[in-house]
Structure 1
Amino acid sequence: MRFIITILTMLVSVSALAKPLSYYFEQDVKFDPSIPTPEQVLGYEVGEWHVRHDQLVQYMQILAEKSDRMNFKVIGRTHEQRPLVMLTVTASDKLGQVEQIRKAHLARLNGGASDSSKQPAVVWMGYSVHGNESSGSNASLLVAYYLAAAQGPEIDALLNNTVILLDPSLNPDGLARFANWANSNRGMKLSSDPQTREHIESWPSSRTNHYLFDLNRDWLLLQHPESRARIAQFHQWKPNILTDFHEMGPNSTYFFQPGIPTRKHPITPEENVTLTKAIANYHAKTLDEHNALYFTEESFDDFYYGKGSTYPDVNGGVGILFEQASSRGHLQETINGPLSFPFTIKNQLLTSLSTFQAAIDNRTDLLDYQAKFYNKAVDLAGDEDFKGYVVKGGADQSRMQYFLDLLRQHQINAYMLEEPLKVNGQSFSEQSYYVPLAQPQFRLIKAIFSEQQRFVDNTFYDVSGWTLAHAFNLEFA
């Protein structure tokens, strides 16, 4: 009898998992009834099934058509030709001026007017770069609905003080693969047994893109169309905050940055850490209010600049990593009790909303920090005991051109030598290139050419560094 009861408790009907909007949002949040809910478009409640990428795109398009607060655009395509989409969201009376706002934002980073009192903060919301960490992309349905339909002083304050770039799926091919796995291996009665097929995805893992590449290690290398499209858009805006929503093992809880204090990149300014901690207080507050377990400043570092949560740190912004314990399907038994897919989605929604509040309250600090980050770059370069790097050209010009193209995508200038040069005993021909430090991307240049091997803490989450010229087998001095 005990065995039968145990089995029955592990089987939950599909309908029991369906959670209405009232489960996700506070009761005092009012919505415009003319804006369709996710359920009205998808045919099921958020979290009842794993959203397919085509459904996600469809809903974002419909919201942009119905709402005067957002624009929809395709910024690129994946290897499998799925669209990489983005919503640009701000107050309705500012949406028509969004290009002027963008240009003014960039002008401040190039010595333009520095008054931040009326300038909106730019917030990039990025979800599920790992396709099988899908609570993020499913939460983006609710975030987009909130931005399009919410009414009242809170949403007005948000829209008037920010431009939000909503990237609902950083890895469409992986997300599509995992939605197919989770949905097709789910029964009419949900099983929370960790050993059921639904919870043990077969090869190839949906974490990766079409070519099984981890896109969260590609922000520097830019080997894939998803990353190249994203970096181009990143530098079109240079966001003040960029969020990176992930999942981790089912038996964990919830993580948000800062990471382990001793494991940040030495080039990242301390003011970045201060701002990250200030923003973290908002996440802690909202999760406390909802009795959700979490941790911070443990397990994860903030080092390698080729990740979504760290690339902003070397570009004048604040990158924030979120990690939610994964249900890896619809429902899974864990050491903390049953973990449902809707619960994981709700936590990602909560910290999305807390990010918005943090952006409003810290808007001028974020804007001033970014302006100083870029406008002081040339002065900092002048404090170095060398002027730049020389990269040796040779017979393989295609290799050099690929390297230079990568630098250009990161907004780094390089110049061909006008005459042969000798540096530290090395000879460089006219086919070599000079990368001066005195340019806005000073810190990124230092990072990608760095050969530093010892740090305050020599333990790393995974990748410690990546000397880009070595990756191309190019000599430099």
Structure 2
Amino acid sequence: MKQRCLFACFSLLFSFYAFAQTPPTLDYYLPAATRYRPAIPTPEQVLGFQIGTWHLSHDQQVWYLRTLAAAAPDRIKIEEYGRTYEDRPLQVLIITHPDNHQRLEEIRRQHVALNDPAQAASFNTAQMPTVLYNGYSIHGNEPSGANAATLVAYYLAAAEGPEVEQILRNTVILLDPSFNPDGLQRFSTWVNAHKSITEVADPNAREFNEPFPRGRTNHYWFDLNRDWLPAQHPESQGRVRLFQRWQPNVLTDHHEMGTNSTFFFQPGVSTRVNPLTPLQNQELTSKIGQFHAAALDSIGSLYFTKEGYDDFYYGKGSTYPDVQGSIGILFEQASSRGHAQESDHGVLRFPFTIRNQVTTALSTLRALQALRPELLDYQRSFFQESAPTTRGRTTAPQGYVFSRTRDLARAYHFIEMLRRHQIDVYRAGQSVTINGQSVSANEAYVVPLAQRQRRLIEAIFRTQTEFTDSLFYDISSWTFPLAFNLPYQAGLPRLGERIDSLPFPVGRVRGRTDGAVGWAFAWDGYYAPRALYRLQKAGVRTLVAQKPFSQQIGNETIDFSYGTILVPTFNQEVPADSIAALMEQLTTDDALDVYALPTGLAASGVDLGSRSLAPVPQPKIGMFIGSGISSYDAGEIWHLLDQRYQMPLTLLDLDDWRGSNIDRYTVLIMPDGNYRLNDGFKETLERWVRAGGTLVALQGALRWVQSVGLGDFSFKTPPKDTSYTRYVDLPDRRGAQEISGAIFQVDVDVTHPLAFGYRNDRLAVFKQGELFLNSSANATHLPLRYTAQPLLSGYVTAPNLNELRNTPAVVVSPQGRGRVIAFADNPNFRAFWYGTNKLFANALFFGATLRSY
């Protein structure tokens, strides 16, 4: 008993010593009494400082790791697998024994074949190496991971002895030192620029308080740890490609959390594991966790498991592997958010945070040695299951079928996303019926479940409304065909050819181009807004049809719906032949069919000279950003306009607001946020709106807009749970009342300009939070309303669901000659909610055409 007490006291003293030790040495981070190859340079020898003294910038990390790879080519092969938006390299170090490097491609092919039931049984897993994907700092301002990666790479390149020899011989390590180079560079620049020579640990110091948008996110302010499954960004697409190429046994994901925490490693909360994840996955996670516990115990670091974090949403790095025969492991280290900061556990210093990350990276490698055959056998058995899973279902489907409707591009991007995850997609071999509508074979696609990625397919297509737990670390639903607004259902019609190549779709020019009085294209296409802006930028005058019409083009009568874009040939400053060339360009660049109109006289509906064809002015757009505004929501808008629609967007920083001239803008955007703006700003904005401006406000911004009298709408008070709750359960009760992210159905007024491009009067929207709008007395200003039974997928409490029924999702509030367009929800969620992007685009282009009734 005395020995145990002495050991506990020693561990505690050692913990305080480790917490306080400065400056760091290499021995502080790495195993004691290890011999290193003298020809391999240390980080300090290359960089001029020891890791932990300063925050490593991404360019410094690249410099060192390339130097390291050049010095240790027998153990390290370095590959660039992509580039960030800011053109920084995404690189991986493939680290293994020299003998393995001699046959690396053979090892990779054999490892991947282990996932093929037709071949897997022939392999002896006792003689195969495991594959580890070791990844760091997907959030740029969680830097202990990226700094630790540099030390781990040195250790694996230079260390000598039986343990490292065994690790290298039995493991192929894919060391990804920085998942988010742009964010890491932004953060390191900030904290290094604000470091004092004399230690300042005061949490109020500028060093620990980054300005908007902070270094957590990528260039467009996206949380890349939510993008593994959607894979909408180059960083994600590169690492998904790497994951699928190697199909690792374990993926580790090194993060940071609040300064007053300790250290977390998985497993997480057992009741919050996605039902598609096998039980054995969690059992193996627990076994690996024992190695982390022993390693952290040996250096006196405190930690926790089985609480706080979950394994439900498959878009995170620690969960994406769990549905693919792999084990995802999340590490969360308390963050110093700089070089040294006061915490509940004393002064938390940057070297200490790095040390814990190094320690658990090495304990992962020890776990893989001990569990190697078990991990390989688990991966093989995962893919050997012959029947689709029935967990959470009454009947397992054989596959899913979906159609492209009138838009080639959304279906293209959906298939593109599926194929990134090595999911086979086929053309339908016959005409099909989807949700009661007949669809021809050339417009339908099939995803059979009888393929390797069966569970991942279920995760992408399934809906779920019943849950064993009401708390979610992230969203509770993400059904992708609903996100893309593609008709789909379970089923397995006859298969046509497999889609092995996927060129961007091309539209066509229809009708005789010579002598055309005008041109038209439907607004249904995903890239129609990009096409419209390109025409406007070229100086072409454009109109939008606010009523349908038809024209005889050749031998066909073509129906043109609400929102059709018209380009008259005459009274244009651009020559007719230039307009024709531009229209033809839209077919290839924007996947649109364009029509040459032979006459101004309609076969039915309105003629081309009708007042129902409204001029569409070129929008000049500004967006408010800064403190209190959600950088995620602002970034989603910036990304949509810049990357997809190729439209200029001026970012207006409210932190530096000096009464900027906003009269140059026709549209201003207020993303979600908690706005606290002075009367001068309110008066300026009100004058601008009443003079004819379009203010587009989203989610939390609506509360400020309404509070200053700019919006003719009001809010419902979210229902409160007043039942008795024990003190220990109070935090969970609040969490259980939240709409963490679910999918709901709205009724769509397809005649309303904000709904142009939609033909179906039902649409799936994504909702987070409890902002419920009251119905307006003016029904003409309610283009979207939640249905009476709105829940499609995800978790929502019964009281919240009841409050949501029949409420507006979008409200238009006329103000003088202008208007406020209020979105209760986010139509641009995480860049993969393609199905509602058009609503947002409509507000930008057609807001000025709205009439007050």
TM-score tier, shorter chain, comes to over 0.9
Q: Say which SS state the counterpart of residue 172 (structure 2) adopts.
A: strand
CA shift, 1:233, in A, is 0.7
Partner of 2:465: 453
Distance 2:46 2:63 in 1: 8
Distance 1:440 1:124 in 2: 20
1:265 to 240, 258, 274: 274
Partner of 1:331: 340
Q: Does 1:380 align with 2:349?
A: no
> Which amino acid in the other structure matches residue 473 of structure 1?
N
Partner of 1:88: 94
Q: Say which SS state the counterpart of residue 305 (structure 1) adopts.
A: coil
> Which amino acid in the other structure matches residue 487 of structure 2?
E
CA shift, 1:382, in A, is 9.9
Q: How does 1:43-62 map to 2 (within 5 A)?
A: 43-62=48-67
Moved more, 123-132 or 113-122: 113-122
1:26 to 22, 31, 34: 31
Distance 1:462 1:229 in 2: 23
Q: How does 1:18-167 map to 2 (within 5 A)?
A: 18-67=23-72, 68-110=74-116, 111-112=118-119, 113-167=122-176
Q: Does 1:206 align with 2:215?
A: yes
Q: Say which SS state the counterpart of residue 388 (structure 2) adopts.
A: helix
Cα deviation digits, residues 193-252 of structure 1 (max 9, x gap): 000000111111110000000000000111100000111111100000000000000000
1:393, 1:429 within 8 Å by CA — same for their partners in 2?
no
CA shift, 1:190, in A, is 1.9
Partner of 2:188: 179
Partner of 2:360: 351
Q: Say which SS state the counterpart of residue 244 (structure 2) adopts.
A: helix
1:387, 1:438 within 8 Å by CA — same for their partners in 2?
yes
Cα deviation digits, residues 278-319 of structure 1 (max 9, x gap): 000000011111110100001001110000000000111000
> Which amino acid in the other structure matches residue 413 of structure 1?
D
Partner of 1:292: 301
Q: Does 1:420 align with 2:425?
A: no
Distance 1:392 1:129 in 2: 35
Partner of 2:451: 439
Partner of 2:700: none
2:245 to 223, 229, 236: 236
1:124, 1:243 within 8 Å by CA — same for their partners in 2?
yes
Distance 1:386 1:318 in 2: 26
Q: Say which SS state the counterpart of residue 17 (structure 1) adopts.
A: coil
Cα separation, partners in 2 of 1:400 and 1:423, compared to 1, 3 Å: closer
Partner of 1:390: 401
> Which amino acid in the other structure matches residue 106 of structure 2?
Q
> Which amino acid in the other structure matches residue 399 of structure 2?
G
Q: Does 1:468 align with 2:474?
A: no
Partner of 1:4: none
Partner of 1:404: 415
Greater RCO between the two (CA within 8 Å, min separation 6)? 1
CA shift, 1:93, in A, is 1.6
Cα deviation digits, residues 318-373 of structure 1 (max 9, x gap): 00000000000000000110000000000000000000000111011111111111
Moved more, 335-344 or 23-32: 23-32
Q: TM-score, normalised by structure 1?
A: 0.95
CA shift, 1:58, in A, is 1.1
Q: Say which SS state the counterpart of residue 230 (structure 2) adopts.
A: coil
Distance 2:407 2:301 in 1: 56
Q: Which has the higher helix share?
A: 1
Larger Rg: 2
Q: Does 1:362 align with 2:376?
A: no
Q: How does 1:244-263 map to 2 (within 5 A)?
A: 244-263=253-272
2:388, 2:449 within 8 Å by CA — same for their partners in 1?
no
CA shift, 1:386, in A, is 2.5
CA shift, 1:33, in A, is 1.2
Q: Say which SS state the counterpart of residue 270 (structure 2) adopts.
A: coil
Partner of 1:277: 286
Q: Say which SS state the counterpart of residue 72 (structure 1) adopts.
A: strand
Distance 2:186 2:252 in 1: 23
CA shift, 1:183, in A, is 0.2
Q: Say which SS state the counterpart of residue 181 (structure 1) adopts.
A: helix
2:435, 2:487 within 8 Å by CA — same for their partners in 1?
no
Distance 1:428 1:271 in 2: 41
Distance 2:348 2:157 in 1: 29
> Which amino acid in the other structure matches residue 178 of structure 1?
F
CA shift, 1:453, in A, is 1.4
CA shift, 1:424, in A, is 5.8
Query: Considering only aligned residues, what root-mean-square deviation do their CA atoms show, in Å?
Result: 1.4
Q: Say which SS state the counterpart of residue 117 (structure 1) adopts.
A: helix
> Which amino acid in the other structure matches residue 90 of structure 1?
T
Q: Say which SS state the counterpart of residue 261 (structure 2) adopts.
A: coil
2:388, 2:455 within 8 Å by CA — same for their partners in 1?
no
**Unmatched tracts of structure 1, length 5 or more:** 1-14
Distance 1:139 1:386 in 2: 45
1:42, 1:55 within 8 Å by CA — same for their partners in 2?
yes
Q: Say which SS state the counterpart of residue 380 (structure 1) adopts.
A: coil
> Which amino acid in the other structure matches residue 481 of structure 2?
A
Q: Say which SS state the counterpart of residue 195 (structure 1) adopts.
A: coil
2:130, 2:170 within 8 Å by CA — same for their partners in 1?
yes
CA shift, 1:476, in A, is 0.8
1:114, 1:371 within 8 Å by CA — same for their partners in 2?
no
Distance 1:387 1:262 in 2: 28
> Which amino acid in the other structure matches residue 103 of structure 2?
Q
1:265, 1:302 within 8 Å by CA — same for their partners in 2?
yes
1:131, 1:207 within 8 Å by CA — same for their partners in 2?
yes
Moved more, 317-326 or 410-419: 410-419
Cα deviation digits, residues 253-279 of structure 1 (max 9, x gap): 000000001000000000000100000
CA shift, 1:128, in A, is 0.1
Moved more, 408-417 or 241-250: 408-417
Q: Say which SS state the counterpart of residue 353 (structure 1) adopts.
A: helix
Moved more, 290-299 or 380-389: 380-389
CA shift, 1:60, in A, is 1.0
Cα separation, partners in 2 of 1:403 and 1:82, compared to 1, 3 Å: same
**Unmatched tracts of structure 2, length 5 or more:** 1-19, 490-853
> Which amino acid in the other structure matches residue 158 of structure 1?
I
Q: Say which SS state the counterpart of residue 104 (structure 1) adopts.
A: helix
Partner of 2:611: none
> Which amino acid in the other structure matches residue 475 of structure 1?
P
2:152, 2:361 within 8 Å by CA — same for their partners in 1?
yes
Distance 1:326 1:386 in 2: 45
Partner of 1:217: 226
CA shift, 1:59, in A, is 1.1
Identity %: 52
Distance 1:338 1:363 in 2: 39
CA shift, 1:422, in A, is 2.1
> Which amino acid in the other structure matches residue 103 of structure 1?
R
Distance 2:201 2:389 in 1: 56
Q: TM-score, normalised by structure 2?
A: 0.53
1:382, 1:438 within 8 Å by CA — same for their partners in 2?
no
Distance 1:439 1:261 in 2: 28
Distance 1:465 1:128 in 2: 25
CA shift, 1:393, in A, is 2.1
Partner of 1:10: none
Q: Say which SS state the counterpart of residue 105 (structure 1) adopts.
A: helix
Moved more, 55-64 or 313-322: 55-64
